[in-house]
């Protein structure tokens, strides 16, 4: 069970949160301009890397805010979290 730092509420247990997949994958601004392949890549392809990974979490049973977490997928170290609009370098 992870302990995740909500940037608004502080550290809380994982069951309070909902996972939201890789961070910084924006919904394309103009999907109609994308080829099938580009659109498919947006829909289905995400990084699956070992090491530091930026991912989205929602404090669903708390403040209900979405934010981002840097987690080490190899060790499960929670490197830090940051709000929408902040940069990964701001994670703490």
Counting contacts by CB under 8 A, is residue 34 touching another protein?
yes
How many Å apart are CA 59 and CA 84, to the nearest integer? 13
Between 52 and 65, CB nearer to another protein = 65
How many Å apart are CA 17 and CA 6, to the nearest integer? 9
CA dihedral 81, 17, 72, 22 (to 10 degrees): -90
Q: How many residues bind another protein (CB under 8 A)?
A: 31
By CB under 8 A, name the one of 16, 22, 39, 52 that touches another protein: 39
Between 7 and 53, CB nearer to Zn ion = 7
Nearest in space to 9 (alpha carbons), one of 89, 86, 81, 88: 81
Contacting residues toward another protein, per CB under 8 A: 1-3, 13, 18, 20, 26-28, 30-32, 34, 36, 39-40, 42-44, 56, 58, 60, 64-66, 75-78, 84-85
Q: Give me the residues that bind Zn ion (CB under 5 A), please.
A: 6, 8-9, 59, 62-63
């Amino acid at each position: 069970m992870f302990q995740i730092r909500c940037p608004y509420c502080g550290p809380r247990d994982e069951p309070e949160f909902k996972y939201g997949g890789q961070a910084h994958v924006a919904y394309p601004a103009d999907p109609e301009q994308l080829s099938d392949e580009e659109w498919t890549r947006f829909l289905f392809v995400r990084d699956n890397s070992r090491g530091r990974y930026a991912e989205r979490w929602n404090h669903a049973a708390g403040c209900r805010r979405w934010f981002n977490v840097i987690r080490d997928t190899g060790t499960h170290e929670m490197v830090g979290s940051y709000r929408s609009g902040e940069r990964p370098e701001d994670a703490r």
